[in-house]
Structure 1
């Protein structure tokens, strides 16, 4: 896989690794709809999935904003999925294997952006995956899902695309809770979205009765700002939050990607 290169010239590791214009007003920052995408400055990235002897190709549109670019934590998540086996004893594999599965595995991805993690999960695990983001991000999500449908189909996977604004009850109810696993990568960076994200996780993990006891949220995260500790402090009031994977620092960053498991506080894992 190609490594995403980023800088580390501010407090911890800011979003300066992304190609932004000065007026970026991306989906993860607000809920405004934007006009139909004009695919200028198109970039493509290929991810080799050794576990299924195939590749996923993802279209990026850097000029469109943050949600149209690949982020470091997504690359880590894809690598972990590609190395997953039910018999593996590493913490990430154990976190996936522990999920109570009703074939086919149903996965919901929050803040999907380009959709690479959800598409890879569907292809590798043969899962029924719903990738979500704000409305103006969806055309590129649909494009990437369709472009990789021949990679997803052989193992019985499916990728669905849906709008979801964190914290909006009507949209959360439309999406529903009927999933075995919730996933996300690089979703914690704007502090005004901490509470809406936690509200969404409470709906998905804590609502719906005892059947949610083993449902978890696996979140890949690259730490950038000290203020992010505020998100985790709030999250730990409602969830059991455990570290299940950690990459060491790279040449381009003082911090590595970490993966957390969020679950109900009374969750008991095998």
Structure 2
């Protein structure tokens, strides 16, 4: 699924939000796209270039990602072939949780795996997780109770394809 082949080796395609430390993925040869809001892209680009110059097989890409905004323009569905989407602490109290859900759905193919670490926030998380599970199969990979953090794995539910459920 969507992996690039090079001399018999398969390199995964990753989409990262910048709360994850992406440097290891660059070095091991993954095709990485790091994302953030437009106002911090310059800083992200600088940090990635400074930390990966001459250290990675594939030059990382930096792209703007504002949840729910210009998704088809910035990430055309026909070109979204990410093996993994990794995010950290993206669910917190803010008015854009539905846009986050739409963004996850837009960026995923049937075999895309979402991995994300999240600090538990009862009201917001429960509301988001309930809605999220309408579209994705969800599995808890690990809990870190002392930090109040959970690591999740998710994949788009079979049969949903490009459809998204109405709220």
TM-score, normalised on structure 2?
Answer: 0.79
Q: Which residue of 1 aligns with 2:151?
A: 259
> Residues 151 and 220 of structure 1: is their aligned pair in 2 closer, same or farther, counting only changes over 3 Å?
farther
Q: Which residue of 2 aligns with 1:197?
A: 100
Higher-helix-fraction structure: 1
How many residue pairs align between the two structures? 152
CA distance in 2, matches of 1:143, 1:231: 33
Larger Rg: 1
Match of 2:80 among 166, 170, 177: 177
Q: Which residue of 1 aligns with 2:52?
A: 149
> What secondary structure, in the 3-state scheme, does the structure 2 residue paired with 1:236 have?
helix
CA distance in 2, matches of 1:118, 1:215: 18
Matched, 1:162 2:66: no
Q: Which residue of 2 aligns with 1:248?
A: 145
Q: Give per-residue Cα distances to partners, 1:156-190, cap 9 Å, x unaligned.
A: 24321111111123333289412211111111113
> Residues 107 and 175 of structure 1: is their aligned pair in 2 closer, same or farther, counting only changes over 3 Å?
farther
Match of 1:108 among 15, 23, 34: 15
Q: For structure 2, list consecutive stretches of 5 or more residues without a partner in the other structure.
A: 5-9, 160-167
1:90-101 aligned within 5 A: 101=3
Which 4+ runs in 1 deviate beyond 4 A?
Answer: none
> What secondary structure, in the 3-state scheme, does the structure 2 residue paired with 1:266 have?
coil
Q: For structure 1, list consecutive stretches of 5 or more residues without a partner in the other structure.
A: 1-98, 206-211
Higher-strand-fraction structure: 2
> Residues 166 and 243 of structure 1: is their aligned pair in 2 closer, same or farther, counting only changes over 3 Å?
same
Match of 2:124 among 221, 227, 230: 227
Which range is displaced more, 257-266 or 192-201?
A: 257-266
Match of 2:41 among 138, 158, 177: 138
Distance apart, 1:120 and its partner CA: 2.8
RMSD over equivalenced CA pairs, Å:
2.4
